[in-house]
Structures are given as structure tokens and as C-alpha cells.
Structure 1
Amino acid sequence: MRLDRFDLNLLVVLDVLLEERNVTRAAERLHIGQSATSAALARLRDYFGDSLMVQVGRRMELTPLAQSLMAPVRDALMRARSAIAMRPTFEPASIGRTFSVAASDYMLDVLLARVVRDLASSAPGMRLDIRRTPHDVLEAFERGAVDLLIIPEQYAGKLQHPQVQVLEDEHVCMMCADAAKDMADLTLDHYFERGHVSIRLGDERSLAFEEWFLPRYGRQRRVECTVDQFSVAPLLVIGTDRIVTMHRRMAEEMAQRFPVKLFNAPFEMQPLKEVMVWHRYLDEDLAHRWLRDAILSVADRQHHSERLSAICHQEDTASPG
């Protein structure tokens, strides 16, 4: 099919070529021969009047025009795929569709696990492919490799796509219960004197959290262990004097299952705000919108439950005897 003399079949080839920057790898992904891919590249070069890819040493580099085509070509294909997947009506109970979701194990523990359980009855044919947040998460999202992304607000702000906050949490410090049995609270001096387990969810995030201390206190934490997931944090402090700084919701669940003790963080830090982000082209997708609403509904129910528990705890504390 042609549009303004352009063969639309070449749009898929162009997208893969711009991402791979290699004819052989592009041919493998497209499941066509290398000669056919080379022929398609020749036709694209002829249409645009540009080399698109040029040899630089052993690598192929994109020309300025090719770089400017990456975003609009990918956006056009994603919108086309979304349009094909759309149906005039949406029935949750009869849907058969998979959405990829990128989120930390923290978000899986405190929110998404409940969503998945709810879907088992309300939309059994809707499958969530939940993946750990990749190191190149922003790039992966822009490539369309992720249908729904849940990340901290400061990173979501870099994406010019629809987004909404799903939860807010504060930071606490976790220690081995034996190592902290004589401690009533955790002072800033104690915090810096002890070794730390650092939770690194990507090079950029880890660096941002570590450097947060230096301009404020002129000191750095002594990081003795790093890990890329929250769920193993208790296992890395039990039997040691180390501290791990993490989010309260998950830490309180862990404190019920592991011999650990929690302390309020001995410093002021902005609360964590987790934001759900989706592509513009999925904004009107009925199934995707239903999934977003389901996630927000679970988050809202949990928020009200936590507020009720906090009120009951205050009343119990205030009651005489």
C-alpha cells in the first residue's frame, strides 16, 4: 500500500533499521533475507534522498535526517498497532490481551500483586507481563517496549506522556533486630558510622540517591553492598550492623516476617511519589484505560484502608488504660 508515493510496508523496515543500525540484525528481526533488507534500505535512501546510515569505523551511524525520523516513525507505528487492537466495545470478562508493565519489586509487592489477584476474577483473559524496571527504562518506554510504566515522579517527569500518581510513601531505616536491640532511635551519627546496603534500580537512580547526602551533610554513606531489588533487603542486614534505607510500606511488611527493626530516617527527605505513565497513543485504548482504572482503584482502596488503620491506632493510643 502506498501513501504519497511511499510504500507503507517500508515503514516497519525503517523502524527496525533505525533501532538496530545493522542490516543483518534488522533482517533477523524482520524474518526476511538480508538481501531483501538491503533492497528495502536502498529504496528508503532513494525516497528520502539521504544515506540514512553511514559506515563509521566498524559501526553504522545514523545521519541527522535518520535521527530526526526515529521518534515520528516509532510513534506512527505504535498508533497504528493501537488502532488495530482497539474494539468498539470492551468487555473485561471476555478480553484476551497482554500488556507489558515495568515496575520495581516494591511496586509489585505493595500494589500490583493485588491488581493481578483482582484480574483473575474480573478480567481473567487480561495478562500482565510484569518486568523489573530496565536500566534503559526511559529509552525502552519510548521504543514502545513497555505498555505501562510505574516509576518515581522525578523520572516520570522526563517523559512527555500522560501520567498520574498512584501512591506516596516515606523512607525508613531497617536494621537487624539483634544489632538494634539497645537502640531507642537512630541518630544521624549512628547512620553514618554504620555500613549500608544500597538498593540500586539503575545506575542513574543509585547515583542520585548516594549524592543526595553530600551537599547537605558533607558526608557520604559507607555502602558495603548494593542490590537491584527491595525484596532481599532484610536478608542482607540480618546478622550485621548494616542499615538499609527503603520505603515504609514494604519495610513494615518485612518487619512482620523477618527479625528486623525499623527506625524513622534521621534526616528530612522528600516522600516517594510513584507515578503511572502510558503512551499518548494508548490514551483512548478502552482496554488499557480499564487496566489503568483498575490499578488506581486498588491504590485508592489501600490508601483508605491505611488511613482508617492510622485513625484506629491513634484512638487506641489515646485511650486510657
Structure 2
Amino acid sequence: MRFNNLDLNLLVALDALLSERSISRAAERVHLSQPAMSNALSRLREYFNDELLVQVGRKMEPTPRAEGLADAVRDVLVRVEATISTQPIFLPRESSRVFRLLVSDYTLSTLMPYALALIYEEAPAVRIELRAHVAHPARALERADADMLIIPSEYCSSEHPMEVVLEEEFCCVLWKDSPLARAPLTQETYLDAGHVVVLPGEGHPAMEDWFVPHLGVSRRVEVTTFSFATSAQLVVGTQRIATVHRRLAKRVQEYAPIVIRDVPFPMPVMQQTLQWHAHRTADPGLTWLRGLLKESVTRMDRQN
């Protein structure tokens, strides 16, 4: 099929080339031979009158023209997939569909065990791929690298629909044998203590970015980690404090020698949301999964 003299099959090849930046890997991705993918690149270069990908050392790098095309091409392909590939009905017990979710290790440790059990009850052949958060999560939706994001509301894109699935308080975690654990936790003792702090990664603000502008205070950071799930355990054997999600702290308290205290400052709750691509709102499989994730929150809170 052609549009403005462009063979639309070449858009699939272009998307693979811009994603993989390698002729051989792009060919593998779309099940073409390497000569066929090289031929596709030649035809694309001729159509756009641009090299699109140029060799820089051992890598192929996109030209400015190619970078400008990348998101538009991916959006077209996502629209086509959402329109013609999505089945009109979703039968959980008969489905073997793969769902790809971007989640934090907080979600992995708290919600996902309940969600996976419920998914297995209703759709035992459905497969779940749990992927780590990335710096710009909405791009994972737009490039079809993820079907759904489970992220705090402040990370959501305004371009796509979302709904709040749970609200989460923060609390303080201390080693149960620490002198801090034997006395009330005041603002003064909180600020005097050393802290274990999570730095989630590029593109995700740390909690420190909230403390200074909102409260005018800073904490003495003695340990940093990339993991929410382990931060509550890293206070054991020390007089440090970790400020963590309450559901996570309660889970860790089941097996680690810690105590939980209220944060001696007013802190906003975290709103954990589900977000999906705007073109896939009518996808019956994602509608089923959203409902199931909300039911999983109810089950989680009822059992804890």
C-alpha cells in the first residue's frame, strides 16, 4: 500500500531502524533478511532525501531529520495497532495475551504479589512483563514499549488518560534497638539524625527536592540507594532514619527488626496512578486489567 508514493511497509522498517540503530537488529525485529532491510533503508533515504542513519564509529546515529520523524512514525504505528489489532472482546480465561507494565520496586513489593495472584485466578494463561521505570515513562507508552504505567501522579503525562489506584502515606522507619526508637520522634530529633534516602534515577525527583522548598529544611543524608524496597532495611544496626511509604514499611516490618513512626512534619500523600495510551482507552484487555489492579488494592489492604 502506498501513500504519497511511499510504500507504507517502509514505515515499519523505519521504526525498527530508528529504535535499534542497527540494520541487522532491525531486520531481526521485523523478521526480514539483512539485505532486505538494507534495501528498505536505501528506499527510505531516497524518499526522504536524507541519510536518516549515518555510521559514527561502530554505531549508527540518526540524522536530525530522522529524529524528527521517530515519534511521528511510532505514533502512526501505535494508532494502527490500537485500531485494527485490538480484539473487540477480551475473554480472560481464554487469553494468552502479554501485558507489559512499567513499575517501581515499591509497586513490585506491595501491590504486584496480590495483582499477579488475582490475574492468575482469572486468566492463568495471560503473561505479565514487569519492566523498570525509565526517565520519561510516557515515551514508553508512545513507543508501545509498555501497555500501562503504574506511577505517582506527578510523573504522569497530560497527553494520556490516567486514574488514581491508591493513595499512600509516608512514615519513618528506625532500627528497633536504636535509641531513637525508644523516644518520641520530634522534628528536632528527625533533623539531627542521619538519613537513608532513595534517589530513584534520572528524571525522577528525590524526596529532598520536596523538603527544602516546602519546609525550608534539609536532612543529613548519610546513605543513598536506588531502591525503595530496601531502604527500610538499611537502617538496621544504625541510628539512621528512612522515610518510606507506609505500606512498604509494614511489609518490611514482618521480617526486619524495625519500628514505624509518624513523620514529624506534614507531608502530602502519594497518589499512585495507572496510565495508558490515549489511543488504547477502548482496549477491552486493558480495561479488564485496570479493574483487576484496583481490585488488587482492595485485597491488599484487606489482608494487611
TM-score range, shorter chain: 0.7 to 0.9
Map of 2:164 onto structure 1: 165
Q: What pairs with 1:66-145 in structure 2 (closer than 5 Å)?
A: 66-145=66-145
Q: TM-score, normalised by structure 2?
A: 0.87
Gaps of 5+ in 1: 310-321
| Contact in 2 for aligned 1:133/1:201 (Cα 8 Å) | no
Q: How big is each residue's C-alpha offset from its partner over 1:94-138, in whole Å with a ceiling of 9 and x where there is no partner?
A: 111110111112223332221211122211111111223234534
Map of 1:316 onto structure 2: none
Counterpart amino acid of residue 260 in structure 2: L
Partners of 1:3 and 1:277 in 2: how far apart?
A: 33
Cα 1:42–1:197 change in 2 (3 A) is same
Map of 1:315 onto structure 2: none
Partners of 1:131 and 1:18 in 2: how far apart?
A: 21
CA-atom RMSD in angstroms? 2.7
- State the shift of 1:300 in Å: 4.5
Partners of 2:229 and 2:52 in 1: how far apart?
A: 45
Equivalent pairs, count = 304
Q: How big is each residue's C-alpha offset from its partner over 1:186-233, in whole Å with a ceiling of 9 and x where there is no partner?
A: 12222222221112222332x442232233455432222222222223
Gaps of 5+ in 2: none
Cα 1:58–1:257 change in 2 (3 A) is closer
Pair 1:246-2:249 in alignment: no
Cα 1:162–1:37 change in 2 (3 A) is same
Partners of 2:2 and 2:15 in 1: how far apart?
A: 17
Partners of 1:180 and 1:250 in 2: how far apart?
A: 23
| Contact in 1 for aligned 2:180/2:239 (Cα 8 Å) | no
Hey, which bits of structure 1, 4+ residues long, moved more than 6 A?
55-59
Partners of 2:235 and 2:58 in 1: how far apart?
A: 47
- State the shift of 1:262 in Å: 1.1
Cα 1:32–1:116 change in 2 (3 A) is same
Look up the SS of the partner of 2:109 in the other structure.
helix
Larger deviation, residues 49-58 vs 243-252: 49-58
Partners of 1:168 and 1:196 in 2: how far apart?
A: 24
Look up the SS of the partner of 1:237 in the other structure.
coil
Counterpart amino acid of residue 202 in structure 2: D
Cα 1:249–1:22 change in 2 (3 A) is same
Pair 1:42-2:42 in alignment: yes
